[in-house]
Amino acid sequence: MPRYVIVFLLPDVLNDFLNPIREYFEKGVSLKIPPHISLTFPFYINSLSEEELFQKIMVIGKKNNPLAIGLNGIKTFQRENGRKVIYASLAKEEGVKKLNSELMGVLKEHITIDLSVFPGNMSPSFVPHATLVLNGTDKDQKYVEERFANFSPRNFLADKFFILVSHNPQKTWKAERMVLMGKLGI
């Protein structure tokens, strides 16, 4: 059964900065999915066809204007295995949280969230961010913070989001659909 996730993909200038960090620390683990900001948690489709669900998502894209996104600073949270997830927080989260809320409001009765990706199989609160390192240490965090402090530009206009699909948890995610936002989506 395919899994889906809805994301903003980061622009090339940010990818050029982030990919070497991800490659160094993750040795291919996090490279299964391109650098992104998640708009939903990974999910399975329950009760609609894929096309019907995509149409609902397209309507939400058209209703929302593009968002100004800025990567703010480096933060972490602890995983069950004692390692850290190192991520870039967003300068303004409100627009991304609103879009998440709208997507989940429409999708909730038609999908099942894949809880297997969360500690204890419990859904966490939605915190918009760009994951940099999945299994980091304090030393890794310091390295990322030093590199990030000297990096610019950190801002971009998110005018489209993507529906990614994975047909096998061990395989890569690929962009299934692009959803243009606001008047671009008409």
> What would the pLDDT profile of 73-119 be if each residue is shown by its tens digit?
899 987 777 778 888 899 888 999 999 999 999 998 888 887 666 66
pLDDT of residue 185: 54
pLDDT at 183 over 90: no
* Exposure of 158 in the CB half-sphere (CA atoms within 13 A): 27
Q: What is the CA radius of gyration of the chain?
A: 16
Cα angle for residues 77, 141, 130 (degrees, 5° grid): 60
The answer to whether residues 8 and 36 touch, using CB atoms and an 8 Å cutoff, is yes
Residue 91 amino acid letter? A
Please name every residue paired with 157 in a beta bridge, in sequence order, or none if there are none: 68
To the nearest 10°, report the CA torsion of 118, 173, 171, 3: 60
Q: Is 82 exposed, middle or buried (0-12, 13-18, 19+ CB in 10 A)?
A: exposed
Local structure of residue 168 (DSSP, 8 states): S
Full set of structural domains in the chain with CATH: 3-185 (3.90.1140.10)
The model's pLDDT over 129-139, given as tens digits with 9 standing for 90+, comes to: 988 877 778 88
pLDDT at 60 over 80: yes
> Biggest alpha carbon distance in the chain?
47
The contacts of residue 36 (CB under 8 Å, 6+ apart) are 7, 8, 9, 10, 130, 162, 164
- Among residues 88, 92, 101, 107, the alpha carbon closest in space to that of 10 is found at 88
- Among residues 19, 139, 144, the alpha carbon closest in space to that of 74 is found at 144
> pTM for this one?
0.86
The per-residue pLDDT of the chain, averaged, comes to 84
